[in-house]
Amino acid sequence: MANGVKYFIGNWKMFGIPSSNKILYRIERFFVNDKKHNKKYKIIIAPPFTLLYDFSKRFKNKKIQISSQNCYEKDNYGAFTGNVSPFMIKKLGIRYVIIGHSENRIIENNKIIQEKIKLALKNKLKIIFCIGENKKQKKQKKTFIVLKKQILSGLSKNYNLKNIIFAYEPVWSIGTGLTPSVKLLKKNVVFLKKFIKQKFRLNYNPKLIYGGSVDKKNAKDFETIKELDGFLIGGASKSSKNFIDIIKNFYK
């Protein structure tokens, strides 16, 4: 089903200063030398806004892509103190933006997320669209209801979903060291792909990655889930060694 290219996406969250570019250089060096596998995967790193311009210039002709961690729900320019529009991100030479991360959903409702996605696509950004149930919803067995709602309220039927990478990130697994079992993750991944394919009448499989406490060990366990297209990695992406170890183990 998903034997296409895999994605290893690092979300730095509130981490990084200009000299942190050395982490990216190390990861890039590994990628270039990993001749045996490097045609099979892509690396994308999402640093904070403060580093986007510098990193996008440094890695312009390199193998690592840079992503924004968010964007504002208004386009172009405006009186929105402290915010950055999809237009401004695109103009930096950035190609990706993360939208709907659960850490932002605390203050962003589905309507806001819908607007962000619309404007990001308008500006020809590719989207890493995060969805996921929280602990309470999981306990109440509402996982699929929640995921369906997040997907349907974020997207319009006429979008080209080739510009969207779905990132399934159960909130209870982010930063906790807890992950779903291989069996449960496979079940959810298969459900989500089937649901998206049917609802949007796709004649291809949508891209779907997993995020939440990914490390070198569970990345290898999850490698058995052929439907999975990669990972969204938080904590472990702040260290080149941990990030590289995930890729190494995945292909071991």
- Which residues are marked as active site? 101, 169
Q: How far apart are CA 210 and CA 223, in angstroms?
A: 11
Select 233 or 244, whichever has its Cβ closest to ligand 13P: 233
DSSP, res 192: H
Q: SS3 of 77, please?
A: coil
For residue 39, the minimal CB distance to ligand 13P (Å) is 25
Select 87 or 214, whichever has its Cβ closest to ligand 13P: 214
For residue 5, the minimal CB distance to ligand 13P (Å) is 20
For residue 198, the minimal CB distance to ligand 13P (Å) is 27
State how far the alpha carbon of 56 is from the alpha carbons of 62, 180, 229, 243, in Å.
10, 34, 24, 20
What token pair was written down for 226?
A: 């052929």
- What type of residue sits at position 97? V
Q: Is 154 in the site for ligand 13P (CB under 6 A)?
A: no
Select 9 or 225, whichever has its Cβ closest to ligand 13P: 9
Q: Is 16 in the site for ligand 13P (CB under 6 A)?
A: no
Select 12 or 200, whichever has its Cβ closest to ligand 13P: 12
Helix (H) or strand (E) holding 32: helix 21-33
- Residues 6, 7, 8, 11: which binds ligand 13P (CB under 6 A)? 11
Q: How far apart are CA 142 and CA 219, in angstroms?
A: 26
Q: How far apart are CA 86 and CA 98, in angstroms?
A: 11
For residue 166, the minimal CB distance to ligand 13P (Å) is 13
